[in-house]
């Protein structure tokens, strides 16, 4: 495309942006995890969310303080329901009560647009949960219909390890052993026009395979890229390769029609000595380029015109998260509201400290990494099952943290 045309198109899109500022276009969201005892209060968080240009916030619960504080803020919310509630939600009445207590009171002032039920349920160690997922989603959806709120979508976030094959992207398939559970969930998403959520962390792939995976490829830096011989498309970053692998897997189940959202992605600004790649510099590159790409409305090679939402993990560093040092250092902001690193936006909260008594319930279960070796296109993929084990202990820790909130939720049910 010649330069003039490009310039004109830029003008046109600027004009379009002025008139259609939200919603229909790709946008940046942010995960507002709250496992900390030193975070600014939610009303201070609003400024930070806006500073990064995020129009969407994802919570791991339905925290009343946050939902109240963001009333009339124009920010859309995905609220979460923890894995520990899935069994309760087998009861349609409990689902109705949940919607009545945790969603209804905040509408319409707070824009709740989606409910994410459970996190990485199908790959969770607790296999008893996977059978509970779809009924819980159906019951919440039915409750929303009952209250005439079914514009709110109902979905669930998956780990990338739901994929059996991720390389090359066009060969993406879901794990055979999950298909029985996955297919009906995806059918449900298609039927209700709800998005498919995936948590994708190129960081884990690099951390574990820094000899084979190029840093440029995971950090959106200029690189030669790699050709996917299956679709003849060229990939120059791992996140898009991961997204297209998910897309290929969805297509194979006959669901080109389901919208993909990245429900978590991010990069830690600090880690233990053996957490290769965790650094301020790399986090700044990853998240800085990510924000830029979303602003440019850049589609992936297999989904060039795609409008997707990407939720960065996370708004704040969370000082009470268990696990390696990286876990407490995913934030774009430090606990006092100052930027963790310069992302090119003006964004200090000016409100140091803050009385937020935190104790939040947000929880991230890191997905096992995908092996995607750009240097070595014939290298195939690493079976995910062999990687899952390492993360199990971390997953169980976050589940037990989430259990802490069960009590509060039951109280709100009564």
Report, as residue numbers or ranges, the catalytic residues.
Answer: 120, 264
Task: Give the CA-trace dihedral at 211, 217, 222, 223, to 10 degrees.
Answer: 60
Nearer of residues 171 and 395 to ligand NAG, judged by Cβ: 395
Of 275, 309, 327, 336, the residue at the interface with ligand NAG (CB under 6 A) is 275
Nearer of residues 164 and 275 to ligand NAG, judged by Cβ: 275
Q: Rounded distance, CA 139 to CA 93, Å? A: 8
Nearer of residues 125 and 385 to ligand NAG, judged by Cβ: 125
Nearer of residues 41 and 276 to ligand NAG, judged by Cβ: 276
Compute the least distance from the CB of residue 396 to ligand NAG, in Å: 4
Q: In the window 305-334, what residues touch ligand NAG (CB under 6 A)?
A: none
Contact 354, 338 (CB under 8 A): no
Compute the least distance from the CB of residue 393 to ligand NAG, in Å: 6
Nearer of residues 299 and 323 to ligand NAG, judged by Cβ: 323
* Residues pairing with 80 in the sheet: 116
Query: Segment contacting ligand NAG (CB under 6 A): 142-150, 168-176, 234-242, 270-278?
Result: 270-278
Number of residues near ligand NAG (by CB under 6 A): 9
Nearer of residues 272 and 307 to ligand NAG, judged by Cβ: 272
Q: Rounded distance, CA 275 to CA 268, Å? A: 10
Q: Rounded distance, CA 392 to CA 120, Å? A: 12
Of 177, 272, 342, 375, the residue at the interface with ligand NAG (CB under 6 A) is 272
Compute the least distance from the CB of residue 373 to ligand NAG, in Å: 18
Contact pattern from residue 219 through residue 258 relative to ligand NAG, giving x for each residue in contact according to CB under 6 A and a dash for the rest: ----------------------------------------
Q: In the window 388-407, what residues touch ligand NAG (CB under 6 A)?
A: 392-393, 395-396
The sign of the dihedral angle between the CA atoms of 52, 53, 57, 63 is positive
User: Using N-to-C axis directions, what is the helix angle for 92-102 and 406-413, rounded to 10°?
Assistant: 90
Q: In the window 119-158, what residues touch ligand NAG (CB under 6 A)?
A: 125
Compute the least distance from the CB of residue 328 to ligand NAG, in Å: 15
| 357 near ligand NAG, rule: CB under 6 A | no
Contact 370, 163 (CB under 8 A): yes
Q: In the window 171-210, what residues touch ligand NAG (CB under 6 A)?
A: 207
Compute the least distance from the CB of residue 7 to ligand NAG, in Å: 46
**Residue 10 burial by CB count (10 A; 0-12/13-18/19+): exposed, middle or buried?**
exposed
* 3-state class (DSSP) for residue 308: coil
Contact 220, 241 (CB under 8 A): no
Query: Segment contacting ligand NAG (CB under 6 A): 91-99, 153-161, 268-276, 379-387?
Result: 268-276
Nearer of residues 184 and 323 to ligand NAG, judged by Cβ: 323
Contacts of 272 (CB under 8 A, 6+ apart): 278, 324, 325, 326
Of 24, 176, 232, 274, the residue at the interface with ligand NAG (CB under 6 A) is 274
Q: In the window 53-112, what residues touch ligand NAG (CB under 6 A)?
A: none
Supply the Cα-derived Rg of the chain in whole angstroms.
Answer: 20
**H-run or E-run covering 78:** strand 76-81
Q: What single string gives the DSSP state of each residue in 114-163? A: EEEEEES-TTSS-GGGHHHHHHHHHHHHHHHHHTT-TTSEEEEEEEGGGE
Tokens of 262: 């990245």
Report the 10 Å Cβ neighbour count for 304.
9
Nearer of residues 93 and 125 to ligand NAG, judged by Cβ: 125
Compute the least distance from the CB of residue 399 to ligand NAG, in Å: 7
Q: Could you list the residues that contact ligand NAG (CB under 6 A)?
A: 125, 207, 272, 274-275, 392-393, 395-396
């Amino acid at each position: 495309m010649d330069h003039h045309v490009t310039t004109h198109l830029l003008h046109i899109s600027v004009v379009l942006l002025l008139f259609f500022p939200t919603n229909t276009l790709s946008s940046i969201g942010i995960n507002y995890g709250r496992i900390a005892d030193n975070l600014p209060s939610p009303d201070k968080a609003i400024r930070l969310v806006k500073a990064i240009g995020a129009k969407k916030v994802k919570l791991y619960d339905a925290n009343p303080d946050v939902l109240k504080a963001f009333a009339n803020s124009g920010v859309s919310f995905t609220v979460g329901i923890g894995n520990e509630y899935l069994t309760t939600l087998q009861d349609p009445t409990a689902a109705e009560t949940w919607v009545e207590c945790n969603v209804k009171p905040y509408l319409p002032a707070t824009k709740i647009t989606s409910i994410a039920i459970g996190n990485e349920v199908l790959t969770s160690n607790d296999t008893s949960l996977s059978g509970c997922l779809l009924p819980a989603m159906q019951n919440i959806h039915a409750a929303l219909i009952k209250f005439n709120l079914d514009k709110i979508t109902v979905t669930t976030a998956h780990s990338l390890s739901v994929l059996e094959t991720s390389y090359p992207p066009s060969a993406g398939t879901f794990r055979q052993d999950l298909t029985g559970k996955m297919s009906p969930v995806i059918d449900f998403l298609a039927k209700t026009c709800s998005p498919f959520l995936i948590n994708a962390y190129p960081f884990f792939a690099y951390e574990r395979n820094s000899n084979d995976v190029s840093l440029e490829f995971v950090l959106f830096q200029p690189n030669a890229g790699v050709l996917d011989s299956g679709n003849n498309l060229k990939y120059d970053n791992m996140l898009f390769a991961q997204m297209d692998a998910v897309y290929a897997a969805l297509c194979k189940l006959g669901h080109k029609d389901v919208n993909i959202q990245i429900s978590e992605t991010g990069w830690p600004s600090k880690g233990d000595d053996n957490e290769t790649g965790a650094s301020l510099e790399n986090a700044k590159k990853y998240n800085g380029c990510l924000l830029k790409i979303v602003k440019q409305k850049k589609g992936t090679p297999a989904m060039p015109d795609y409008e997707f939402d990407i939720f960065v993990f996370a708004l704040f560093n969370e000082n009470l998260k268990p696990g390696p040092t990286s876990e407490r250092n995913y934030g774009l902001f430090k606990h006092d509201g100052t930027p963790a690193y310069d992302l090119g936006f003006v964004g200090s909260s000016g409100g140091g400290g803050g009385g937020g008594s935190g104790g939040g319930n947000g929880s991230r279960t890191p997905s096992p990494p995908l092996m995607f070796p750009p240097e070595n296109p014939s290298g195939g993929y690493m079976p995910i099952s062999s990687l899952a084990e390492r993360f199990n202990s971390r997953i169980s820790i976050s589940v037990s943290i989430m259990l802490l909130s069960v009590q509060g939720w039951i109280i709100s049910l009564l």
